[in-house]
Chains A and B, each alone.
Chain A
Amino acid sequence: MADEPLVLGIETSCDETGVGIVRGTTLLANEIASSVDEHARFGGVVPEVASRAHLEAMVPTMRRALEKAGISLSDVDALAVTAGPGLAGALLVGVAAAKAYALALDKPLYGVNHLSAHVAVDVLEHGALPQPCVALLVSGGHSSLLLVPDVTNDVKPLGSTVDDAAGEAFDKVARVLGLPFPGGPHIDRVAREGDAAFATFPRGKADDGTLDFSFSGLKTAVARWIEARERAGEPVPVADVAASFQEAVADVLTAKAITACREHGVDNLLIGGGVAANSRLRVLAQERCDKAGITLRVPRPGLCTDNGAMVAALGAQLVDAGRRPSALDLPADSSLPITEVLV
């Protein structure tokens, strides 16, 4: 539909420089430059390394996205950018770039919440979002349960991790198992050959009656288990440990997500964020949703990890909803509250 807004989204909250282009709910381009390889030897994302990479990748990624979408910048109706939460220096590169494009092109700019964008992206895959829905957002930086009556202006926090993010636990356990950074895809891969019932690792806060998570104790329990084996001179069954750890994470995430749906009388669950690419989480969530009569929506992995299309998708919904664009003094806010969809 030609009257749907053509929106360009920029994402730089962590280590991916993303530029996405959507027309309404249709994805036209989703280009990403990642600095993940530069962080691998440090075992985690180094903020200054990420910020430097964003500066170098910004214009080339923009050019690739425009080419992929077959449009020129002057065709764009509005721009959107992740204003937070995320790494302060990394966010600032994207926000400054977005302002520069908006200023040069004289187009409106929407500074948006990264977590809301992870929810909003699913319109590109599965159409309009059910209102309300519960969203489980799990990545290297976040583990949150949200009640989303309206992704353009009403997002309520239900629970979040009290210590490590789920993706962080994957990275740390991968390191203990001698697997590369980032841990998620590697644990997922080796766990396929492993026995998920081999060891029972703790499900932090599983029965505490809250919708919060804790993954720090799980990570330590896995490390202790491995050290005990090593001290006893026994080999560490990497695949079995990976599968058992992954099972603990997927179990507690999906159990609390279902509880959140039940407590709020919501029958639609959406899962987003990098950890949503985990194959066991997807399978277990589907099983439990089927059993509970809940409709599950999980975008394809390329839209779950950080990307510019999710920012563009939220921007297009804000344009449609008639929300006012951000001012040019829009700040990057590393700890932007979940409740602030638009800055």
Chain B
Amino acid sequence: MLLAFDTATPAVTVAVRDDHRVRAERAVVDARRHGELLGPGIGQVLAEAGVSPSDLTKIAVGVGPGPFTGLRVGLVTARAMADALGIPVVGVCTLDVLAADVVCGAPFLVATDARRREVYWATYDEKGLRTDGPHVGRPAELVWSGLAFGAGALQYHDVFKSAHGPHFPSAATLCALVAEGRVTILEPQPLYLRRPDAVEPGARKAVTPA
């Protein structure tokens, strides 16, 4: 019994899957309330599926890249639940999950919002295999004229002329990818891609005028 969730985009998405199919899924889009939404979301999905936490055998979590605060909610939840239940936890690149829902038969780019007028992005070949990324950068500095998917592409449609949905990754897809072994498995470690904003102080400024 696999529980999967992703909090690396404004969507808090949760799903639970048995050996054959997704038993329940739920997604709420609210970029500012990941911490409030994920716990109840997991509770509701498990209840709807008739699954108790002790039935779970594995947890899969989207490891980003994504805005840090929300991303960490998913990762610490996955690690803590796995620790409490004594079960394994695996990570998957969030952009790979989004890419798996893209149907286009040509190379494509997936982008999500990185704030600060940047996007998190990766490119995929016609079979859906990642060819570049994940990276973070300004849309205008990206050399890509092909098809583009995801909320980050749609947000900058002046750059990504052929931008399409899906906007966000789906936990049901994450479940399927992990259960069927169709995705690169990562450690449950966040893909931050940016360093913390912190500047070492320079020489102390005098408080008395010279």
Expressed in whole angstroms, the Cα–Cα distance for A42 and B75 within the complex equals: 27
B181 at the interface (CB under 8 A from A): no
Could you say which of B68, B76, B190, B204 contacts A97, with CB atoms under 8 Å apart? B76
- Please tell me if the beta carbons of B40 and A42 are within 8 angstroms of each other in the complex: no
- Please tell me if the beta carbons of B39 and A48 are within 8 angstroms of each other in the complex: no
- Please tell me if the beta carbons of B207 and A103 are within 8 angstroms of each other in the complex: no
Question: What are the interface flags for A42-69 relative to B under an 8 Å C-beta threshold, 1 for contact and 0 otherwise?
Answer: 1100101101101100110011000000
How many interface residues does B have (CB within 8 Å)?
A: 37
- Which of A87-95, A192-200, A260-268 forms part of the interface with chain B? A87-95
- Please tell me if the beta carbons of A100 and B81 are within 8 angstroms of each other in the complex: yes
- Please tell me if the beta carbons of B77 and A96 are within 8 angstroms of each other in the complex: yes
Question: What are the interface flags for B150-165 relative to A under an 8 Å C-beta threshold, 1 for contact and 0 otherwise?
Answer: 0000000000000000
Instruction: Write the nearest CB–CB distance from A124 to chain B, whole angstroms.
Output: 25
- Please tell me if the beta carbons of A332 and B81 are within 8 angstroms of each other in the complex: no
* Residues of the A chain whose Cβ atoms lie less than 8 Å from the Cβ of B35: 92, 95-96, 331-332
* Residues of the A chain whose Cβ atoms lie less than 8 Å from the Cβ of B208: 223-224, 227-228
**Which chain B residues in 74-92 approach chain A with CB under 8 Å?**
75-81, 83-85
Known: A48-B198, A55-B76. A103 touches B42 (CB 8 A): yes
Instruction: Write the nearest CB–CB distance from A123 to chain B, whole angstroms.
Output: 27
- Please tell me if the beta carbons of A46 and B79 are within 8 angstroms of each other in the complex: no
Expressed in whole angstroms, the Cα–Cα distance for A333 and B114 within the complex equals: 24
Question: What are the interface flags for B64-108 relative to A under an 8 Å C-beta threshold, 1 for contact and 0 otherwise?
Answer: 000011001101111111011100000000000000000000000
Expressed in whole angstroms, the Cα–Cα distance for A98 and B83 within the complex equals: 12
- Please tell me if the beta carbons of B197 and A58 are within 8 angstroms of each other in the complex: no
Expressed in whole angstroms, the Cα–Cα distance for A97 and B72 within the complex equals: 10
* Residues of the B chain whose Cβ atoms lie less than 8 Å from the Cβ of A43: 200-201
Known: A49-B198, A97-B77, A332-B35. A104 touches B85 (CB 8 A): yes
- Please tell me if the beta carbons of A100 and B204 are within 8 angstroms of each other in the complex: no
B199 at the interface (CB under 8 A from A): yes
Number of contact residues on A: which range applies? 35 or more
Expressed in whole angstroms, the Cα–Cα distance for A62 and B86 within the complex equals: 13
- Please tell me if the beta carbons of A96 and B72 are within 8 angstroms of each other in the complex: yes
Residue ID in chain A nearest B86 by CB atoms: A73
- Please tell me if the beta carbons of A329 and B36 are within 8 angstroms of each other in the complex: yes
- Please tell me if the beta carbons of A93 and B207 are within 8 angstroms of each other in the complex: no
Question: What are the interface flags for A84-127 relative to B under an 8 Å C-beta threshold, 1 for contact and 0 otherwise?
Answer: 00001100110111111101111000000000000000000000
Known: A48-B197, A328-B40. A227 touches B72 (CB 8 A): no
- Please tell me if the beta carbons of B84 and A105 are within 8 angstroms of each other in the complex: yes
Instruction: Write the nearest CB–CB distance from A187 to chain B, whole angstroms.
Output: 16
* Residues of the A chain whose Cβ atoms lie less than 8 Å from the Cβ of B75: 55
Known: A48-B197, A96-B38. A58 touches B79 (CB 8 A): yes
- Please tell me if the beta carbons of A101 and B84 are within 8 angstroms of each other in the complex: yes
A176 at the interface (CB under 8 A from B): yes
Residue among A104, A228, A331 with max Cβ neighbours from chain B (10 Å): A104
Question: What are the interface flags for B45-58 relative to A under an 8 Å C-beta threshold, 1 for contact and 0 otherwise?
Answer: 00000001100000
B147 at the interface (CB under 8 A from A): no
B37 at the interface (CB under 8 A from A): yes
* Residues of the B chain whose Cβ atoms lie less than 8 Å from the Cβ of A291: none
Residue ID in chain A nearest B37 by CB atoms: A329
Question: What are the interface flags for A160-202 relative to B under an 8 Å C-beta threshold, 1 for contact and 0 otherwise?
Answer: 0000000000000001100000000000000000000000000
9 A-B contacts (beta carbon < 8 Å): A58-B76, A58-B79, A59-B83, A93-B72, A96-B73, A103-B39, A103-B42, A223-B207, A223-B208
Q: Measuring CB to CB, which residues of chain B are less than 8 angstroms from any residue of chain A?
A: 33, 35-40, 42-43, 52-53, 68-69, 72-73, 75-81, 83-85, 190, 192, 196-201, 204, 206-208
Q: Measuring CB to CB, which residues of chain A are less than 8 angstroms from any residue of chain B?
A: 41-43, 46, 48-49, 51-52, 54-55, 58-59, 62-63, 73, 88-89, 92-93, 95-101, 103-106, 175-176, 220, 223-224, 227-228, 327-332
Q: A96-B77, A100-B78 are in contact. List 4 more A-B contacts (CB 8 A).
A: A41-B200, A93-B72, A328-B39, A331-B36
